[in-house]
Structure formats: C-alpha cells, structure tokens
Amino acid sequence: MHRAAYAVLGLDWTFEAVDVAPGELPAHVDALDASWRALAVTAPHKRDALDLADSVTDVARAAGGANTLLLEQGPRGRHVRADNTDVPGARAALSEAGVVDVPVVRVLGAGATAASVAHAVAGLGAGLVELVVRDVGRAEETVAAVHAAGLEARVLDASTSPTGPVDLLVSTVPESVAGERADAWAADAAAVFDVVYDPWPTRLSVAARAAGRPVVTGLDLLAHQAVLQLRLMTGASVDVDVVRGAALEVLASA
C-alpha cells in the first residue's frame, strides 16, 4: 500500500517489512540511519513504541499504543514521535460503512488494537465497551484505555460465551478464535467489524453477511489508517481506494 502511494505521489521511497523480536524495537530504532523517515509499527510492539519515543501524541497515549513512529531530523539530532492512526482509521472505516451510532460495543480480545477501537467508537456514540477475553487478568491496560476514552468497560470471560444484543461486534482476535462461535456472535450484533484481513473471508464475516449485517473488514481499517499514516510520513494525501486496491492485489496474488 505504501509503495503504491509513493508511486502516485512521485516519491522515490521504499517501504520494507522487517522482523523485530519482541522487546527489541528500541535497539532496532537506535540502529537506523538518517535515511529512515518513519516506521509503521505492528503487534506486539505498539505499546513499546510509546516508551521509546521522545514525544507521544495525545491519541497514542490515550489508546496505550502507537502504530507510527516518525523519525524527525533536527539541529539537535533525531526526534522520535509516536502517533496512532488506528484510532481515526477505524472510525473512518466504520463511518464509510454507515456504522455511525453504536452505544454498546462488544470487542473480542483486549490487546492494543482493542484499545484503539475503544477510542474510535467513542466518537460514534459508544457508552459501553464489553471486552471478551480468555484471560480476564490481562485486560487491565485495555480497560484503562477504555476508561480514558470516557467509556464504561465490562470485562467478560470468553469461556462463559457472553450473549445479548449489541450495536457493534469487533473482533481483534485470530480467525481460529472468532470463528468458533461465528454464527452466535453475528446474530447478536447489529454490525460486525473483523480486523482480520488474511485469510479472507473469515467465518465471522460470512456469518454476518448471511445474517444481513453490515461488515467492516480489516482491509478497510488497514487502508484508512494507511492513508492517515502516509499523510504523517509524506505530508501528502492519497485516495483510500489507491491503497485499498494495492492491498487487494497483494492478497489476490498470495
């Protein structure tokens, strides 16, 4: 997606995937030379990205994680700024699908993406976020992020198979997990947002469409957050369909 955008913008830039072991992000960033402009950060490094940054935007701090590190060169050397485009990207993806009023949101999982989703839905009328997790004790950071968004948080044990109607179901867990109860999850939700984009379609998305529910995909999130990320990195705007189309081509050829 980034490479397609660079081509449209006429930039002779590269975008490379680099595997970084958990806990090694600070050392990796320190080793980068001045030719590096920015990094797109994925799990499990989003929370570590906050700690290594020289400055952190309000949205990244509130969400408890950053998916973007901007490496800014100045007279005093390099300044690392952490930002989060997952939050506005998720909100844009939901709005594009017409999902704009979601008082009660059920989220499968409680990682950094779940925290970003909480802040995204705070701008779409949410009041309560249910976090469905396998280990209740590991949800504390995400609960704090939900509260920071001004929302009520309710942590539910996944083993109890929580039920009841919700305005939006968001799955931030792997297909193998969400797919176990796909029909039941979809039946309870007025709309479904599955952040997984590979493999696609997921069992949850198929069940949601069969039930006549609006479906927002992980590819939609990926495209919208990338447009915002590209603007931070390059200072220029790219149409969301350019990056979404590039991602679809990659997935189709995989």
Catalytic residues, by residue number, are: 46
Residue 218 tokens, joined: 């992980």
Our measurement of the distance from residue 144's CA atom to the centroid of its chain's CA atoms, rounded to an integer in Å, reads 17
Q: What are phi and psi of 165, to 5 degrees?
A: -70, 140
Residue carrying structure tokens 């980068």: 32
CB count within 10 Å of CB 50 equals 19
In angstroms, the CA 220 to CA 59 distance is 20
DSSP for 166-202? BSEEEE-S-HHHHGGGHHHHHHHBSSEEE---SSSS-
Residue carrying structure tokens 């970003």: 116
Q: Going by DSSP bridges, is the β-strand pair 215-217/55-56 parallel, antiparallel, or unpaired?
A: unpaired
Our measurement of the distance from residue 57's CA atom to the centroid of its chain's CA atoms, rounded to an integer in Å, reads 16
Our measurement of the distance from residue 148's CA atom to the centroid of its chain's CA atoms, rounded to an integer in Å, reads 17
* Residue 97: burial class (beta carbons within 10 Å; 0-12, 13-18, 19+): middle
Give the residue from 58, 38, 85 showing the smallest Cα distance to 234.
Answer: 38
In angstroms, the CA 131 to CA 134 distance is 10
84 and 67 Cβ atoms separated by less than 8 Å: yes
